[in-house]
Amino acid sequence: MSVSRRALLATAAGAVAVGASAVPAAEAADRQPAGATLRTLRAAADYAVEKVRAVAPGVTGFPVGTRFEKWTYSRNGDWVGGFGPGTLWMAWLHSKDDSFRAWALDSARDLAPRQYDTSTHDLGFLFSPSWVTAWRLTGDDMWRAGAIRAADSLIQRYNPRGRFIRAWGALTDRANAGRVIIDTMMNLDLLVFASRQTGDTTYLDIAVQHAKTAQRFFPRPDGSTPHVYDFDPDTGAPIGPNTVQGYSPASCWSRGQAWGIYGFTTMYRRTGDKEFRDTARKLADFAIGALTPDHVPVWDYRAPQQPYDIKDASAGAVMACGLLDLHAATGRHTYREAALRLLTALAETCLTTNSARADAVVARCTRNRPPEDGIEISLPYADYYLLEGILRVLRPEDVDRAIDLSQPR
């Protein structure tokens, strides 16, 4: 790393829970896009807030996806439970209506049992947009302590021989013991948070080692990535690429590519390691080049029917956030311009504005194409990342308070 662990932890130790960091200079320099784009994004954010306001009182669990345009729910949150509270926090930042704040806190409390869940890598998805954001916006130490306990559970999934965090299965499950997926890049920030808050570099070391392993094995020479990479869990030796949600081990699942862009950029921001930034750029350049003229990603950039295949708006929302982050990290305006095109396309062609019965904000999402699980539905992470992306443009200081957009020093 190009910054010491001491410097990294010291930087965080001086931050206050509420509004701790400064908005990146590159992002602040071009805060406002063209008038028409700005109006489109504001209208989309307003629509999202009003939709969430209308639906929130009737929510009975954690939304996991829609069936006939109505949310279906998980009682324990599955892997997506953090996005419900996260969306409510984004709605609060945009509207300043304290109803959203109350709903966000109530929803997040229901994730409390998952602090101790060692059976999944998804604890960052569960606790970063919910409990970490709650701590940053309220200063209540209960949320901070719970997020650290979740990080304690996550590091138990680390394999020191292969230097990776296993994705799926209980710790006793041999079948998935060597399986690594690109999505895990998004869960590493929970470990960085725990290191910053406790001063214990164990969490940070594991996050960095996993990111370096992913950096070594996932990106292909052209910047595309597989969904899965398998390792021998006993020796740590690489076996090869694979997939669960992509078309094939040689294809490029678009949401996974977006997780990689956002995740590697985040690891650059947290550590200052320029190799993470350069990896994010490589992945971003491939994904931007693979977009169709409508700027809504197909579900897999290398599926046989692309560019005319099923779309995944959630991949576009995640990618837009990652590209805005990457612009702030590099100062390269092409990333911001691509992000604005993605957000505008989602706002103009993927919202549920034409449906009176829809519970969600974003339509045209694909959960898992190979088994035909969730085609042309809505997904909670699409709603969350659309709002995060739009508010990164409209209200960067507020988003910074919620999720910390600070750059390496």
> Would you please indicate which residues are annotated as catalytic (active-site) residues?
122, 183
Q: Which long-range contacts (CB under 8 A, 24 or more apart) does 287-294 make?
A: 287/223, 287/254, 287/257, 287/258, 287/261, 287/319, 288/323, 288/334, 288/338, 290/224, 290/252, 290/254, 291/338, 291/342, 294/345, 294/349
| DSSP letter for each residue of 94-133 | HH--HHHHHHHHHHHHTTGGGGG--S-STHHHHHIIIIIH
Q: Tell me if 262 sits within 8 A of 198, measured CB to CB.
A: no
406 near 269, Cβ under 8 Å? yes
Left (φ > 0), alpha (ψ -120 to 50) or beta: where does 382 sit? alpha
CA nearest neighbour of 41 among 102, 116, 100, 94: 94
Strands 62-67 and 158-159: unpaired
**CA–CA gap between residue 346 and residue 364 (Å, rounded):** 9
Q: Is-contact 189 128, C-beta < 8 A?
A: yes
- Sorted by sequence, the CB contacts under 8 Å of residue 78 that are 6+ apart come out as 62, 64
CA atoms of 142 and 48, how far apart (whole Å): 29
- 244 touches 228 (CB < 8 A): yes
Query: Residue 370 carries which side chain, given as an amino acid letter?
Result: P
User: For residue 378, which phi and psi values (nearest 5 degrees)?
Assistant: -110, 150
Q: How far apart are CA 228 and CA 205, in angstroms?
A: 22
Side-chain half-sphere CA neighbours of 370 within 13 A:
12
Tokens 């990080």 sit on residue: 151
